[in-house]
Amino acid sequence: MHSILKTSLAALVAAGISASAAHAEGHALSGDLVIFSDMSNPAPRAVMEGMVERFGEMHPDLNIELTVIDREAYKTQIRNFLTANPPDVANWYAANRMLPYVEAGLFEDISDLWEGQISEELASTKGALTIDDAQYGVPYTYYQWGVYYRKDIFDQYGLSEPTTWEEELANCQTLLDNGVKCYTIGTKFLWTAGGWFDYLNMRTNGYDFHARLTNGEESWLSDEVRATFANWQQLIEMGAFIDDHQTYSWQEALPFMVNGEAASYLMGNFAVAPMREAGLTDEQIDFYQFPEITAGIPRGEDAPTDTFHIPSGAANKEAAREFLRFVVSADNQTLINNGENLGQLPVNALSSVDDDKFLNEGFDMLSNKAPGGIAQFFDRDAPAEMAAVAMEGFQEFMVFPDALEDVLERLEAAREDIY
């Protein structure tokens, strides 16, 4: 793994496109750079170690100390180490997941890094790293959500990729008339219903409203939220979703699409590998961006984003800032996200992706077709307590749509209590 990383870097540097290296010239870094990371699984760990190794080669007088902590343990330890003995750089997540540490003064304001070129190259995720007009971290990887569908079934019934809600509903009705469910979904663990709410709400009311709602600034009893649920109810009443979805995990819902009983799945790109493993070919599967509902509203997208931050108590902030510049450079993001490494999408719009049709479509969508903003998924954008209550409500609504008023009143009471 490391030999691949070194070879790729050498080629990039030889081509003269290592922006971070160019910026680092004249910046003789020294001392210790302490990095804490939650990239504990084998492939991410190798990526993290490779980045540290390459950055160290660029700065031979800098002593880099990398500590990799199990991801679940990291979640319970982060507040303690940020408070008591902060490293210079730490992994975490964007949006609401970083908010408590920003509000507690534990993450450094790095708005200066976002000025100029970096801001342009990472524009799609700037909002997710921004609190009160200041930026508190940088992204290194994300992945797209969207509608994965059986192209062969669409072709069989003369359907094309929808771009409007009317086209989506018309496609769905044609499928139902032919005995095919429009969507598979497994809501047993609730979060998949959160994905449907995210998209319906962002398409009905826009990203900004969605962000205010998940931040507790809008009422769940508002006309806007009711409009979102009204659009959702259209699909439920049509019978668009598979039956008994509350009994399935997301993986257990996959066979309905594989067997042709359902035509599509609103899901993250991580679902592609199990679809292929189940025997579906790339000629059978395709992908489209969730269609427009309210005309003229820029489309927001769910693209959960992993990030690096500088703790406020960091001892070597100069070296930490240079490391973050290195992390977000186009060449580094191309390298760490390729199929041999993370197998996800680079956030830098000047990066390139592996020759995989879903990664290419996702990169194009997030870099060029998501002007409405990048959401982090409901359970990252909302506080944990609110996310738990809301996603339970979403699932209940999908099973018992007549319970909508009770669900909305419960969510509004939770909002008033939690925020």
Distance between start and end Cα atoms, the chain: 45
Q: 219-247: per-residue pLDDT in tens? A: 999 999 999 999 999 999 999 999 999 99
104 has pLDDT over 70: yes
Cα–Cα distance between 39 and 297 in angstroms, integer?
Answer: 36
Tokens of 258: 């594989």
Cα–Cα distance between 102 and 88 in angstroms, integer?
Answer: 16
Mean pLDDT, residues 169-180: 98
266 has pLDDT over 70: yes
Is the C-alpha dihedral spanning 386, 390, 391, 392 positive or negative? positive
Query: Quick one: pLDDT at residue 384?
Result: 86
Please report the domains of the chain, with CATH numbers, ordered by start residue.
2-141+305-351 (3.40.190.10), 145-302+375-418 (3.40.190.10)
| Single pTM value for the model | 0.85
16 has pLDDT over 60: no
Tokens of 109: 């304001």
Percentage, residues of the chain above pLDDT 90? 84
Query: Quick one: pLDDT at residue 124?
Result: 86
Query: Quick one: pLDDT at residue 96?
Result: 82
Q: 110-151: per-residue pLDDT in tens? A: 999 999 888 999 988 998 899 999 999 999 999 999 999 999
Query: Quick one: pLDDT at residue 116?
Result: 82
pLDDT band at 156 (very low <50, low <70, confident <90, very high): very high
13 has pLDDT over 60: no
Cα–Cα distance between 227 and 393 in angstroms, integer?
Answer: 16
Query: Quick one: pLDDT at residue 27?
Result: 60
pLDDT band at 11 (very low <50, low <70, confident <90, very high): very low
Tokens of 252: 């257990």
Q: 18-31: per-residue pLDDT in tens? A: 444 444 444 689 99
Mean pLDDT, residues 62-82: 95
Cα–Cα distance between 334 and 329 in angstroms, integer?
Answer: 9
Tell me the HSE value of 223 on the side-chain side, using a 13 A CA sphere: 0
Percentage, residues of the chain above pLDDT 70? 94
Cα–Cα distance between 283 and 267 in angstroms, integer?
Answer: 19
| Mean pLDDT estimate for the chain | 92
- Strand-pair category, 138-142 with 305-309: antiparallel
